[in-house]
Amino acid sequence: MFIFYFLLWTFALYWIHRIGHKVPIISSYHLSHHSYVNHNEVYWHWNNLFLYNDNVRSTIDLWIMEVIPTFIFSYVFGCWYIFVFYYLWAAFLQERIEHNKNFNLPILTSGRWHLIHHKSPYNYGLFIPIWDIIFRTYRKL
Ligand SMILES: [Zn+2]
Ligand SMILES: [Zn+2]
Q: What is the pLDDT along the chain (141 residues), one digit of tens a residue?
A: 889 999 999 999 999 999 999 999 999 999 988 886 765 566 788 989 999 988 899 899 999 999 999 999 999 999 999 999 999 999 999 988 898 888 898 789 999 999 999 999 999 999 999 999 999 999 987
- Asked whether residue 115 is domain-assigned, the answer is yes
- Asked whether residue 139 is domain-assigned, the answer is no
- Asked whether residue 140 is domain-assigned, the answer is no
- Asked whether residue 40 is domain-assigned, the answer is no
DSSP class of 78: T
Residues whose CB is less than 8 angstroms from the CB of residue 15 and which lie 6 or more positions away in sequence, other chains included:
none
- Asked whether residue 10 is domain-assigned, the answer is yes
Q: Is the pTM of this model over 0.85?
A: yes
Instruction: Please choose, from the candidates 87, 95, 50, 51, the residue with its C-alpha nearest in 3D space to the C-alpha of residue 70.
Output: 87
Ligand whose nearest atom lies closest to the CA of 65: 1
- Asked whether residue 96 is domain-assigned, the answer is yes
Show the domain range for 57: 2-31+50-134
How many angstroms separate the alpha carbon of residue 49 from the centre of ligand 1? 22
How many angstroms separate the alpha carbon of residue 107 from the centre of ligand 1? 19
- Asked whether residue 63 is domain-assigned, the answer is yes
Q: Are 29 and 57 in contact (CB under 8 A)?
A: yes
In total, how many domains does the chain have? 1
- Asked whether residue 141 is domain-assigned, the answer is no
How many angstroms separate the alpha carbon of residue 76 from the centre of ligand 1? 25
